[in-house]
Chain A
């Protein structure tokens, strides 16, 4: 589904990613771990198309086509979703309005009919249950005045509504207390699907206690140092990153 080859990325002239190779297949859950500043978030942002990053070498292909040529919205239409590390507050734009616009744009691209207001509300109410989100959230401005936990739950809720092929979860566990972590992880597990891939970027093991990855990669200084199974994450939790960085 996703093939990244020799990807080099710089931000404001500083090289952050120094040759990343990564292949993610449908149905797989990958965890990307690594110390702060290693380039984890840069990787997910570049895949989603966030402006401000310069790809200096390499390629990203998604279902065989060149992802880097697409605008952020075109990547969403292709089936890519980024759960933000810091979800943005947008006063005056309400959640259901945004989701309806996004979902209908996606459906249009897939050649499906737009949902009418009734069907849409039914869909979102159902999905809101996945992350135990009060439907009253729908009529509030996007993320405005939400607690950290509510923001992250809202990200997973949006993912559930938009049903992406590839979900990038950027530090979705950061800033969550244990109850919120359980709810968010539960939502992610319910969205695991043989046709869907997920890439979780995380600094800690704790999300992986709830969501067991198929593959774990360790990213440091812009390179993937090693990859392995779920055991690798537990070893990192016990022994830290030092043994890898030596």
Chain B
């Protein structure tokens, strides 16, 4: 029983020397959660409690849309996953659920994947294939059924076949006592389009390794991130966008709002391969620190191996603007009200991009209640 725990402890110890884990330390987590947490497990039962406010197609056992095929299979052993989060998930998730949306389908309702942690360790492992020329929205919700300490490990590998379009909303709203280790791998074929809105609101420690492979010409991705953290929360997104083919386009826009002693980490790495001419890439990280003890580590990175590219990156870190605060207060808005207005306005830039009304309202509400209580 201690074997796997030792394996994980050794892996985590090795990570501590790894640049990608410089700002996020897992050793305390591994030590705190104890040996019984780090064991292979059956995938937690699919959640059958879709959020009632969504008119959505649940991707659990109840899914009966003919365009969707769904299979649960044993996770193949011995494969190699690059980021530690994916590796850990393979080690422990005994099953993988493989979902495919058939070619040329355009479901009106979004697909819904609820990944719930209920205390203990939960391992979710999915593959999702979007068939050629299909277009769909995926809502992925991470929440908590109970408030006891829990670890949620999630791995989702998405393949977009030629001409496929996916809008992906990934909302992490776990309880503060829950920890989240996520891995998201996107494989994009010719002329496919992937748009992500990743929102980090909950959890104690949360990490996402996001890898995008723009494998064939004309693929595009548009990544939007928002962290709203307070207390001692820690959230870390590591992005790698691999431009492996010509004429691909990538965008990443991340915003963080950090209060209390929270810590945000953003690392966005864009790699442009030698053959990937006419690459168009831009990323930006904007960060709002609300307290003196909040911390952000933001690092956009570029690795470019040809000359025919347009790449831009930038980062800003700031506090609420005193002039703006005074302007609002001089119009009769209270100091707290003015702060909330400005913070909300900053976050809205990402939230407004959520084109699914009930989900956008849910996120807006969650952000507001967090600002008012924290």
Q: Which residues does chain A contribute within 8 Å of B330, judged by CB atoms?
A: 48-50, 72-73, 75-76, 81-82, 84
The yes or no answer to A96 lying at the interface (CB within 8 A) is: no
Assess the A99–B331 pair: CB atoms within 8 A.
yes
For A77, the chain B residues whose CB sits under 8 A away are: 332
A136 to chain B, nearest CB (A): 19
Q: A142–B330 Cα gap in the complex (Å)?
A: 14
Does B329 contact A73, Cβ atoms closer than 8 Å? yes
Contact of B345 with A91 in the complex, beta carbons under 8 Å: yes
Q: A72-B329, A82-B330, A105-B332 are in contact. Are A92 and B337 (CB under 8 A)?
A: no
B346 within 8 A of A: yes
A88 within 8 A of B: yes
What's the nearest-Cβ distance from chain A to residue B345, in Å?
3
* Chain A 67-104: CB-based contact to B (< 8 A → 1; otherwise 0): 00001110111000110100110111100011101110
Supposing A49-B330, A73-B333, A106-B332 touch, asked if A92 and B344 sit within 8 A by C-beta, the answer is yes
Whether B322 pairs with A90 at a CB distance below 8 angstroms is no
Contact A92–B326 (Cβ < 8 Å) = no
- B322-349 interface code vs A (CB 8 A; 1 in, 0 out): 1110111111111101100110111011
Q: Please state if A87 and B327 are interface contacts (CB–CB under 8 Å).
A: yes
Q: Would A98 and B333 count as touching, CB distance under 8 A?
A: yes
A93 pairs with B345, CB closer than 8 A:
yes
Interface size (A, Cβ < 8 Å)?
32
Q: Which residues of B contact A88 (CB under 8 A)?
A: 321, 323-324, 326-327
A73-B332, A82-B330, A102-B331 known; A92 and B345 CB under 8 Å?
A: yes
Q: Does A162 contact B (CB under 8 A)?
A: yes
Q: Which residue of A lies closest to B348 (CB)?
A: A92
Q: Is A158 an interface residue (CB 8 A)?
A: yes
Please, how many angstroms separate the alpha-carbon atoms of A235 and B183 in the complex? Answer: 75
Interface centre among A71, A82, A97, A101, by most B CB within 10 Å? Answer: A101
9 contacts between A and B (CB under 8 A): A52-B322, A82-B330, A84-B327, A88-B327, A90-B345, A92-B345, A92-B346, A98-B328, A101-B333
B residues 176-220 touching A (CB-CB < 8 Å): none
B341 CB contacts on chain A under 8 angstroms: 93, 97-98, 101
**A residues in contact with B324, CB < 8 Å:** 88, 90
Smallest beta-carbon distance B344→chain A, Å: 7
Q: Is A51 among interface residues, defined by CB-CB distance under 8 A?
A: yes
Instruction: Give CA–CA (A105, B330) in the complex, Å.
Output: 12
Closest-by-CB residue of A relative to B337 is: A101
* Cβ B346 vs Cβ A71 within 8 A: no
Select from chain B the residue with minimum beta-carbon distance to A91: B345
Given contacts A92-B345, A92-B346, A93-B342, contact A158 B327 (CB under 8 A): no
B335 touches A73 (CB 8 A): yes
Give which listed residue, B333, B342, B349, contacts A105 with CB less than 8 A.
B333
CB <8 Å contact, B327 and A76: no
Closest-by-CB residue of A relative to B338 is A73
Q: Which residues of A contact B344 (CB under 8 A)?
A: 92
Question: When the two chains form the complex, which single residue of A52, A91, A158 contacts B331, counting CB atoms closer than 8 Å?
Answer: A158
- B374 CB → nearest A CB, Å: 20
Which of chain A's residues has its CB closest to B345's CB?
A: A92
Q: A residues within 8 A CB of B346?
A: 92
> CA–CA, A119 to B168, complex, Å?
40
7 smallest CB-CB distances across A and B, nearest first, come from A92-B345, A102-B331, A102-B332, A76-B332, A72-B329, A88-B327, A105-B332
Contacts A98-B341, A101-B333 given: A92-B349 contact, CB under 8 Å? Answer: yes
Q: How far is the CA of A72 from the CA of B321 in the complex (A)?
A: 16
Other A-B pairs, 13, CB within 8 Å; known A71-B335, A87-B327, A162-B332: A71-B329, A72-B330, A73-B329, A73-B332, A76-B329, A81-B330, A91-B349, A93-B328, A98-B333, A101-B331, A103-B332, A105-B333, A106-B332
Q: Considering only CB atoms, which chain B residue lies closest to A84 in the complex?
A: B327
In angstroms, Cα B341 to Cα A88, docked, is 14
Please report the C-alpha to C-alpha distance between residue A71 and residue B348 in the assembled complex, in whole angstroms: 28
A contact residues around B323 at 8 Å (CB): 88
Q: How far is B344's CA from A81's CA once the two chains are assembled, in angstroms?
A: 25
Q: Across the two chains, which residue of chain B brings its CB closest to A82?
A: B330
**Interchain nearest-CB distance for B326 vs A (Å):** 6
Given A50-B326, A88-B324, A90-B324, check contact A98 B342 (CB 8 Å). no
Q: If A51-B322, A98-B341, A101-B341 touch, does A90 touch B327 (CB 8 Å cutoff)?
A: yes
List which A25-80 residues lie within 8 A (CB) of chain B: 48-52, 71-73, 75-77
Residues of A within 8 A of B328 (CB): 90, 93, 98, 102
A88 to B338, CA, bound (A): 14
**Assembly CA distance A142 to B328 (angstroms):** 10
- One digit per residue, 1 when the CB lies within 8 angstroms of any chain A CB and 0 when it does not, for chain B 276-315 equals 0000000000000000000000000000000000000000
- How far, in angstroms, from A50 to B348 measured CA to CA in the complex? 27
B338 CB, nearest partner CB in chain A, Å: 8
Write out the residue numbers on chain A whose beta carbons fall within 8 Å of the beta carbon of B333.
Answer: 73, 98, 101-102, 105
